[in-house]
Amino acid sequence: WAAGYCQEDGQLGRVRMDPLADTLQRLREAFRAGRTRPAEFRAAQLKGLSRFLQENKQLLQEALAEDLHKSPFESEVSEISIGQDEINKALRNLHAWMKDEKVSKNLATQLDSAFIRKEPFGLVLIIAPWNYPVNLTLVPLVGALAAGNCVVLKPSEISKSTEKVLAEVLPRYLDQSCFAVVLGGPAETGRLLERKFDYIFFTGSPRVGRVVMTAAAQHLTPVTLELGGKNPCYVDDSCDPQTVANRVAFFRFFNAGQTCVAPDYVLCSPATQERLLPALQRAIASFYGEDPQRSPSLGRIVSDRHFRRVQALLCCGRVAIGGQSDERDRYIAPTVLVDVKETEPVMQEEIFGPVLPIVNVGSVDEAIEFIGRREKPLALYAFSSSSQVVRRVLAGTSSGGFCGNDGFMHMTLASLPFGGVGASGMGRYHGKFSFDTFSHHRACLLRAPGLEKIYSVRYPPYSPGKLRLL
């Protein structure tokens, strides 16, 4: 089974992979008929999404708690309210975003009309991961619907409870001639990717990103790849250690460290490390109590496979804080590792768990050099009481996004593009960037039918006199 949801006879029901062709066909026909183009239709879909969030808030919170032991607070700030903000922004700006964009003209086109028209691509596939399973399905969906596309949504099969809500409840709030949820893991998604889509928006690991891009290449389908990586966090000697420790611990251990933009490791001098360790210990105790396993605020690792992978990383370097784990409820304590070597697994792969290695560097230049030797990260953080140092790290490195003196606050601004660079991905979204991502920017020039006398100057034969006119 790669279950899809369709409404062939007014009933929601599971369909086999073969009827997937019918579902895609139905979406394509709706698109060709122009159903998704009017602003009123798009606004109605966005309002449907908004009602879905409002009316099913509790159901979503329960599903997120089942999947990730996510607290209502984390569910609200990082999943539901982010989705709602994006919907509100799209509804407020829809007409402005859809408007043709007038452009400047040259001498030869002074009398013409030149503009960029934002057109929907057509049939869009959105593939989502499990770590923010509401946010990372709905936020791209807002952009795709606002831009007037038909959408196939493939949620992650790993966050099972949320997947169920997205598959069984969400379609009731959208026009099902233009929207379908398709379920499945790697095998089914692989088969889905064999079909032709007009745009693919993928969020997930760099490994699967390559699979998606290879499949898309067969149809020359454009892609956005929102991938992961290791996000460095440089801390210089001038910082107040407790402030840095609070901020780094909060953003590292949020969602049990399963955040693509979490600070993945700290780079600092040995002296700063000595000041940071007791401050991190205090921050962890004040956030999660003396026994973090009993804290309702700390999430859990999503699956047994991921638990074993993160647990294995605890053997790297030396445990300075935490280090406990309990397979029965996939608990890993907020952990800080020191004396970590660059060649150890914890410094080779994205950690995606509540584990923070500290690597010593002698100077800001050494930190910049260390970061430059590695793949470009999705996010980069620099802490210093000197804005010059922060700006030096910014200027000396490259990353999808950057935040000075805090964690991933930059991604809370829909006015900033969100996306990776190099191995951390390609393309961008959030706010108007989402609308633009899901729109083809069509170059249009409307010329006057007359004026042939003037235009005929360009025709052969090309006399020397014509050359002088240029």
> Nearest to ligand NAD by Cβ — which residue?
228
Residues paired with 402 in a beta bridge:
380
Q: Which of 34, 38, 186, 372 binds ligand NAD (CB under 6 A)?
A: 186
Q: Which of 167, 244, 266, 378 binds ligand NAD (CB under 6 A)?
A: 378
Q: Which of 3, 211, 213, 319 binds ligand NAD (CB under 6 A)?
A: 211
DSSP symbols for 46-68? HHHHHHHHHHTHHHHHHHHHHHH
CA 395 to chain centre: 24
Query: Could you give the string, one character per residue 335-374, with x where binding to ligand NAD holds by CB under 6 A and - elsewhere?
Result: ---------------x-x----------------------
CA distance 324 to 313: 12
Say if residues 137 and 83 touch (Cβ distance below 8 Å). no
Neighbours of 423 (CB within 10 A): 18
The yes or no reply on residue 203 touching ligand NAD (CB under 6 A) is: yes
Range 368-373, long-range pairs (CB < 8 A, 24+ positions): 368/392, 368/393, 368/396, 368/397, 370/232, 370/267, 370/342, 371/232, 371/234, 371/267, 371/397, 372/396, 372/397
Nearer to ligand NAD, 38 or 186 (CB): 186
Report the nearest approach of ligand NAD to the CB of residue 408 (Å). 10
Say if residues 297 and 71 touch (Cβ distance below 8 Å). yes
Nearer to ligand NAD, 67 or 226 (CB): 226
Q: Which of 90, 142, 227, 249 binds ligand NAD (CB under 6 A)?
A: 227
101 included as an active-site residue: no
Report the nearest approach of ligand NAD to the CB of residue 46 (Å). 21
User: How many residues at the interface with ligand NAD, by CB under 6 A?
Assistant: 28
CA distance 470 to 287: 71
Say if residues 302 and 259 touch (Cβ distance below 8 Å). no
Q: Which of 46, 80, 260, 393 binds ligand NAD (CB under 6 A)?
A: 260
Q: Which of 41, 115, 160, 190 binds ligand NAD (CB under 6 A)?
A: 190
Say if residues 340 and 358 touch (Cβ distance below 8 Å). yes
Report the nearest approach of ligand NAD to the CB of residue 392 (Å). 26
Of residues 86, 163, 226, 350, which has the active-site annotation? Answer: 226
CA distance 34 to 28: 10
Q: Which of 171, 228, 241, 353 binds ligand NAD (CB under 6 A)?
A: 228
Nearer to ligand NAD, 90 or 127 (CB): 127
Angle formed at CA 432 by CA 58 and CA 417, multiple of 5 degrees: 90
Cα→Cα distances 417→117, 181, 436, Å: 21, 26, 11
CA distance 139 to 87: 8
The yes or no reply on residue 70 touching ligand NAD (CB under 6 A) is: no
Report the nearest approach of ligand NAD to the CB of residue 398 (Å). 16
Stretch that binds ligand NAD, among 77-85, 121-129, 245-253, 270-278 (CB under 6 A): 121-129
Cα→Cα distances 286→271, 273, 289, Å: 24, 20, 6
Nearer to ligand NAD, 293 or 303 (CB): 303
Binders of ligand NAD in range 410-429 (CB under 6 A): 420, 425
Report the nearest approach of ligand NAD to the CB of residue 459 (Å). 52
CA 172 to chain centre: 25
Report the nearest approach of ligand NAD to the CB of residue 128 (Å). 6
Say if residues 229 and 424 touch (Cβ distance below 8 Å). yes
Q: Which of 123, 125, 128, 146 binds ligand NAD (CB under 6 A)?
A: 128
Q: Which of 4, 83, 129, 407 binds ligand NAD (CB under 6 A)?
A: 129
Residue 364 parent element (H or E): helix 364-372
Query: Could you give the string, one character per residue 135-164, with x where binding to ligand NAD holds by CB under 6 A and - elsewhere?
Result: -x-----------------x-xxx------
Report the nearest approach of ligand NAD to the CB of residue 62 (Å). 21
- Tokens 């949620």 belong to residue: 155
Q: Which parts of this chain interact with ligand NAD (CB under 6 A)?
A: 127-131, 136, 154, 156-158, 185-186, 189-190, 203-205, 208, 211, 226-228, 260, 350, 352, 378, 420, 425
Any idea which residues carry the catalytic annotation? 226
